[in-house]
Structure 1
Amino acid sequence: MQSMSLLSLRLGRGLLLGLLLAPLLPLGGSPALARDETAWRPVELPQSLQRDVTSRHTGRTYRIFVAKPAGAAPAAGYPVLYALDGNTAFPTLSVVARRMAERAAVTGVPPTLVVAIGYPGSADEAVTARADDYTPPLPPGRPKSERGGERQGGADRFLAFIEEELKPLIAAEFPVDPARQGLFGHSYGGLFALHVLFTRPQAFHTYVAASPSVWYGDRYLRLEREQLAAGARRQAQVLITVGAREDDPPSDNPDSPRARLLASRPMVTDAREMGLWLAGGARLAGPVRYEVLAGENHGSVILPSLTRALAFLGDPEAMAP
């Protein structure tokens, strides 16, 4: 079931690193630069915007990052990729989306509007907020996570924010194609992406779940997915990625409590099982891909998964095994 995407064939790691780093240099031409070339200045991301939005559904304020492609939009509007954990994902995603679109004839990725959903405030506050926003509501008796604060299970409220508040805001300000919209999430974000697929599959055209936390709620997703199997055939397409080293025990203490916890949450096994189920029993008209990324762990897998998300939204057949 392992596959190598067209992107990984066409963009080597060295080239990708160059694409990521080169555009992050400060923009020249400002009066401050002319006055003092030795001064440190904030880094700017070209064609990128941000604003804060407070949701009536969740009561939270979100930091919304947008990267708009250069040039005129196609007649149908831009494809849109919504990415969770926006504070982390957006800098990489905005640069890669722009550079891939500049070479669309080679990469197969059309100009794509990137919308990343993050949080203002500290990293600790973001951890607490995402633990609520990204986790599905559980029936009595299903265990919640021991991390991320007491409040969990707010995924439906968060989805209502995206569907009823954020998407209309983006559509009012940018030309978008409502038929080509994707959702990317990593870890708890991957859990959220699969929860949306299983309960509201019409919300997005493309779902990318990187290292999804299938273990959450005693693998509640395995019950929830039966809603998708019992429903009408859907046009959605799905990509699941996972790092090949995610199940490796800690090298310093393979018998530690953390090692035992990791053993109870086999990310590669769970992702593979979910990918096989989606390919065989999900009643999806679109393609399903599952990819194990060599050399990657749970933290590092997000970078190559972001590039694959753009490629999969743009041309899923290019990623066929």
Structure 2
Amino acid sequence: MKTLFSFIFLSVSLSLQAGSIELTEPELNNPFKITNSHTLAIESQRLGRDYKLYIKLPRGYFDENSQSKRYPVLYLNDGPHTFKVASGVTHFPSMDKAILVGISFAKGENGQFSRVRDLTPEVDKSWVNYKTGGAPAYLDFIQKEVFPLIEGQYRTDTNKRMLAGHSLGGSFAAWVLVTKPELFSAYVLTSPSLWFKKDLIFTFENTYASQHTSLNAKVFMATGALETTANGMRNDMVDGHKRFMKRLESRGYHGLQLKGEVVQGTDHYSTFPIGLTKGLMWIYQDI
């Protein structure tokens, strides 16, 4: 691990030293492309909005000896941000096991406006500058439009869908977990906004627990140790993390594999890469 971080530090240092090199206009107009990746446009008939899907296929997908192989799929909320990170952390062969699918914000909309609407499960009138409560319709779009498109076009293992989300994307994943857990076999929640609408997620979980004794999913949750009110956060994310972990553990759900970590030294913006990496390393042990 030290060797890996030393390599990263050296690479960054060399990049900074090369910062004085002037780039010509043709070089600036020739952007870097992520290997094995492409995009698909999807016009949602259910939502009446257009989205873009960022797709990355594992290396070897097109190899002759792989044509009968079916792959897990990792779905990512906030695709314009999370897809690039997920591509990086899954670059090495030991982590390059799944098809990546990042879902964009709605076409033509402000990203924050789009995600607040799509990732929140109920209307919260305290968000006066945003629309909220669109998560049920957004999940329906994923289930009935995104899944069929991906599973019809690529060799996927429909028993191994995974969902990863950060912040509101993390609380969206938590909401899916306790309302329609069967849609995904594994979940990675980083810095989930469990505080939304006065800890509404605990109400959803309580409803689920009153009707079920099993929860068949592998769940990893990570929150940064610096995500506290003492460090400037409006809501204590660490407290929410610990309480939600304790709640799930106390249920004794059959089939639930649960692991959580408060990541030392990270804040709300730096937890996702580490949390995603650790979560996938743990989940991929069974793949």
Instruction: Give the TM interval when normalised to the shorter protein.
Output: 0.7 to 0.9
Q: Which of these residues, 97, 117, 127, is aligned with residue 112 of structure 2?
A: 127
CA distance in structure 2 between the aligned counterparts of 1:226 and 1:119, rounded to whole angstroms: 30
Q: 2:281 is matched with which residue?
A: 311
Q: 2:17 is matched with which residue?
A: none
CA distance in structure 2 between the aligned counterparts of 1:74 and 1:287, rounded to whole angstroms: 31
CA distance in structure 2 between the aligned counterparts of 1:65 and 1:311, rounded to whole angstroms: 22
CA distance in structure 1 between the aligned counterparts of 2:215 and 2:138, rounded to whole angstroms: 23
Q: Which of these residues, 253, 271, 274, is aligned with residue 244 of structure 2?
A: 274
Q: What is the deviation of 1:206?
A: 0.5
Q: As a proportion of its length, which structure holds more strand?
A: 2
| Runs of 5+ consecutive residues of structure 1 not aligned to the other structure | 1-8, 23-35, 251-258
Q: Provide, for residues 90-122 of structure 1, a one-character-per-residue CA deviation record: whole Å limited to 9, x for no partner.
A: 1121132232xx2x2xxxx45211111112657
- The answer on 1:180 being equivalent to 2:160 is yes
Which aligned pairs between 1:11-160 and structure 2 lie closer than 5 A? Answer: 12-15=4-7, 39-40=27-28, 41-72=30-61, 73=66, 75=68, 77-99=70-92, 102=93, 104=94, 109=95, 111-119=97-105, 125-138=110-123, 143-146=124-127, 149-160=129-140
CA distance in structure 1 between the aligned counterparts of 2:206 and 2:9, rounded to whole angstroms: 41
CA distance in structure 1 between the aligned counterparts of 2:71 and 2:82, rounded to whole angstroms: 20
Residue identity opposite 1:112 in structure 2: A
- The answer on 1:240 being equivalent to 2:221 is yes
- CA 47–11 in structure 1, closer or farther in 2 if over 3 Å, else same: farther
Q: What is the deviation of 1:15?
A: 4.4
The higher-RCO structure (CA 8 Å, 6+ apart) is 1
Q: Over aligned residues, Cα RMSD in angstroms?
A: 2.8
Matched positions, count: 272
- The answer on 1:289 being equivalent to 2:278 is no
Q: What is the deviation of 1:159?
A: 0.5
Residue identity opposite 1:237 in structure 2: K
How does the TM-score come out when normalised to structure 1? Answer: 0.76
CA distance in structure 1 between the aligned counterparts of 2:75 and 2:133, rounded to whole angstroms: 21
- CA 222–98 in structure 1, closer or farther in 2 if over 3 Å, else same: same
CA distance in structure 1 between the aligned counterparts of 2:12 and 2:67, rounded to whole angstroms: 26
Q: What is the deviation of 1:312?
A: 3.2
